[in-house]
Structure 1
Amino acid sequence: MQTSMRLLGRRRFLPIFTTQFLGAFNDNLFKTAMVLFATYRVYSDPKVEMQFNALATGLFILPFFLLSALSGQLADTRDKARIIRIVKTAEIFIMAAGAVGLLLPSIPLMLGAVLAMGVHSTFFGPIKYAILPQHLGPDEVLGGTGLVEAGTYIAILAGTITAGFITHRPDIAAALVMIVATLGWFAGRQVPPAPPVHEEHGVDWHIVRSSFRLVNATMHIPRLFLAICSISFFWTIGAVLVIEFPPLVKNVLTSNEQVASLFLAVFSVGVAVGSVAINRLLKGEVSARYSPASVIAMAGFVLGVYAIAKSWQGDHPGELYHLGEFVHHPSAVGLLVALFGVAATGGMFVVPLYAFLTTTVDKDQTARTVAANNIVNSGAMVAGSLLAFTLSAFGVSAVDQLLMVSAMCFISAWLAWKLHLACDRPHRAAS
């Protein structure tokens, strides 16, 4: 752990870490403020609230599905630091549009900014992982990946908590997203050059054809197929949970937007803790051996959240708990512990799989591998969003949808176990 933390003092790591941190903070500050505004200030129907959250999630994810192949090609054939500078410049203009949407307020303009931020993140996503093997040593990649993941979720924590307290002040939210975007632009300019590992090749600008070719070229490799499918199920689970949290908090736990922000914050802290803890357990080794047990434990914690939420009883019918009142509820501590457990075991599950993606392929293929992973992940997350949208339309509550989430954990565990057998224990895989 101390070795990993020392990376924060290196220019080959700190600027990319800071850039990613600020981008994740801004993404989640804006998205959370928008979702809480719509859930608590615009809509009053649990079904509509779930469907709006699913729509916002789907719009943010859609660019990953459409543009990840192009972003991966560009990251592998262009200087990654130069692409970072371009996308961070674009973020300033995107957040300007989002800030106007918050001030008016305008739901279409805010949703447009969420879609544009999805495009921004699509082009930045492959770089944040692919640049690590280029700037770090082989024994530093897992630690660097864990720090990036932990930093990302701490940034999500900060963004979601902040959003919960400033939802009623759109002027402050608008100013803050602009300030953070500007800081991210400055941080991005400090990232050291990361030119292509090999000579540049042509880029296929046909997004459908390039996406199909990229996924086909990656998914036919068994170890990558298993890793990507496992990660995809994890992020599908994460997408459904994030969609459910605000309506669940408002309509089942009868609590206000600060409590909804607390839920997202606890989830973020848990993933960050799990991301760092698994690096300590594995001692720098890239291995999936703990992933199956981690995601099975995650399923158990999801069932714990389900049981507590199902039996929740409010003390003041018709009124929403404030944050202070919520934490004094007899079931609140158990619920938050279970939620933290869901997130921590999820972080322990997914971090080794990301490190596996970037260390088992040639360095000039890492960004494309991550991009192929993003395409499959985003398709699975869109499917999960559509499923949540459809189930809510048929009257399945946010609480009951947690049972579906728990079942999906076992599919992820099965895939991770097959990956462990295929890669960590090759002698058994051959038998």
Structure 2
Amino acid sequence: MFTSTHLLKQRRFVPLFCTQLLNAFNDNLYKTTMVLFVVYSVYNSADSETVFSGVASAVFILPFFLLSAIAGQLADLRDKAAIIRKVKAAEIGIMAVGAFGLYLTWEGIAVEAVAIPLLMLALFAMGVHSTFFGPIKYAILPQHLKKEEVLAGTGLVEAGTYIAIMTGTILAGFLADHVEIAAIAIMGFAVIGYFTSRQVPPAPPTGEPEKIDYNPFTSSWKMIRECTANREVFYAILAISFFWTIGSVLFIQFPPLAKNVLLADPTVASLFLVFFSIGVALGSVAVNLLLKGVVSARYSPISVLLMAVMVAIFYFVCKAWNAGLRDTQLMDVATFLSYPMAWAVLGSLLLIAIFGGMFVVPLYAFLTTKVAPSQASRAVAANNIVNSGAMVFGSLLALGLSAVGVPLAEQVLLSAGMCLVSVWLGARLYKAEKDAALMASEPAATM
């Protein structure tokens, strides 16, 4: 069976799926509500808004860079289900700090001195939380699923993640002006996520006991170096990381672009992220159907090439948007959708995400199927380390472009050009895949 639906009936999969879904939902609800509220209610310049959005992204990503190696070791050498429960319990406390920061910001109490630092502290802590959860959500799949189910499970986890992001984004758009309700919501969903995590079946370590290296620098370097020995995993990591460099640039641009180029309010900025999330979910399912459960990078180069084309189209649509026909009041969703070109904006965003999902989902499956089961978490962690470095680079790139005065729309066009590097990396990965298959077939042919 090459669809994911049968897994939704399996006790070995559903609790993990629901826990990850709630995790992505609450992460996104908190982060998006915070960014939209600050962008639209605290700052009043495009430069300040872009800087805040970029700093928020960098703060969330930094723990992935520093702690992924330790997280990967723990996930391979301890029961993964037990780690999930501890991580989800910590989320309740983290969200309490974030909720208090949102409340202070809403009340206008010590916004710069206390409220925003609390918001950033909670965001950093959620980055730590996601760092330790991240290697598990993929590496646990080969333990609970059959070999032919891993790609379907990976696609379903990825699709569910983006559906959760979409739902959290929609809610965040409406709660950006009602952050007191958002504060209560993020606490409630953290508690629900903890209880679902308690249903995840045990996933004990499969390898021999090893000593954990708690030095983030030596352990990170060792983990990345080990992955370079496997060309398929190495190119998968590079391709995923460069993809998320592009993604981080685009995500940083969305709120300021919606406000300052398209003259739209927070609900429209959320709508952008919603369409992006729907697209990645659709792409995740579509590529699994095309590959029929086989882990392969066959469609990755053409997928990201088509993504580049759609990013370029998105740029030209934004450039053609005629702000002179409207007054200066920010548009809500209904007003935005009344303009014919709005559907060109949303359609191009949707296709960007569909082709992006088709590119990246099979690559995550490489990380857990092309290594020994006892090394799967560390392969995912190595990927997270390189990913986080790439996303920080993307964040700094977006900030640097804004600092030197490059308009937001032109920054989008740069993202289209960056996709061409991903095309090359996808092609290199597919070549490495075919070379590995050829080498594996040669001994069999000589027997």
**TM-score higher than 0.5:** yes
Alignment of 1:243-254 (within 5 A): 243-254=252-263
1:179 aligns with 2:188: yes
1:334 aligns with 2:338: no
Contact in 1 for aligned 2:3/2:289 (Cα 8 Å):
no
Contact in 1 for aligned 2:297/2:426 (Cα 8 Å):
yes
1:61 aligns with 2:61: yes
C-alpha change, 1:300 and 1:258, in structure 2 (3 Å) is same
Q: For 1:342-366, what per-residue CA distance to the aligned partner results, in whole angstroms no more than 9, with x for missing partners? A: 0000000000000111101000000
Query: Which of 303, 324, 332 is the aligned partner of 1:294?
Result: 303
1:35 aligns with 2:35: yes
Letter paired with 2:427: W
Cα offset, 1:3, TM superposition:
4.6
Q: C-alpha distance in 1, partners of 2:340/2:164?
A: 30
C-alpha change, 1:429 and 1:192, in structure 2 (3 Å) is closer
Two-structure CA RMSD over aligned residues (Å): 1.3
Alignment of 1:265-276 (within 5 A): 265-276=274-285
The residue aligned with 2:320 is 311
The 4+ residue runs of structure 1 with deviation greater than 4 A are 425-430
1:129 aligns with 2:138: yes
Q: How many residues of Structure 1 are paired with residues of Structure 2 in the alignment?
A: 430
Contact in 2 for aligned 1:231/1:350 (Cα 8 Å):
yes
1:391 aligns with 2:401: yes
Letter paired with 1:224: V
Q: C-alpha distance in 2, partners of 1:216/1:147?
A: 30
Cα offset, 1:195, TM superposition:
0.3
Q: C-alpha distance in 2, partners of 1:166/1:258?
A: 9
Which 5+ residue runs of structure 1 have no aligned equivalent?
none
The residue aligned with 1:189 is 198
SS for the counterpart of 1:104 is helix
Contact in 1 for aligned 2:232/2:366 (Cα 8 Å):
no
Letter paired with 2:407: S
Cα offset, 1:4, TM superposition:
1.8
Q: For 1:272-322, what per-residue CA distance to the aligned partner results, in whole angstroms no more than 9, with x for missing partners? A: 000000000001010001000000000000001100001111332321111
SS for the counterpart of 1:171 is helix
SS for the counterpart of 1:192 is coil
Give identity over the alignment, percent: 57
Q: C-alpha distance in 1, partners of 2:347/2:144?
A: 37
Cα offset, 1:428, TM superposition:
7.9
Contact in 2 for aligned 1:149/1:272 (Cα 8 Å):
yes
Q: For 1:213-238, what per-residue CA distance to the aligned partner results, in whole angstroms no more than 9, with x for missing partners? A: 11111123322221100000111111
Cα offset, 1:2, TM superposition:
6.9
Alignment of 1:148-167 (within 5 A): 148-167=157-176
The residue aligned with 2:211 is 202
Letter paired with 1:385: S
SS for the counterpart of 2:140 is helix
Contact in 2 for aligned 1:255/1:326 (Cα 8 Å):
yes
Cα offset, 1:426, TM superposition:
4.8
SS for the counterpart of 2:199 is coil
The residue aligned with 2:417 is 407
Q: C-alpha distance in 2, partners of 1:44/1:220?
A: 50
Letter paired with 1:39: V
Letter paired with 1:178: M
Letter paired with 1:258: T
Contact in 2 for aligned 1:421/1:429 (Cα 8 Å):
no
Q: C-alpha distance in 1, partners of 2:207/2:437?
A: 33
Query: Which of 229, 239, 249 is the aligned partner of 1:230?
Result: 239
Query: Which of 353, 365, 380 is the aligned partner of 1:355?
Result: 365
If the length of structure 1 is used for normalisation, what is the TM-score? 0.98
Letter paired with 1:313: N
Q: For 1:321-352, what per-residue CA distance to the aligned partner results, in whole angstroms no more than 9, with x for missing partners? A: 11100001121011111000000000000000
Which 5+ residue runs of structure 2 have no aligned equivalent?
106-114, 441-447
The residue aligned with 1:369 is 379
Contact in 1 for aligned 2:305/2:420 (Cα 8 Å):
yes
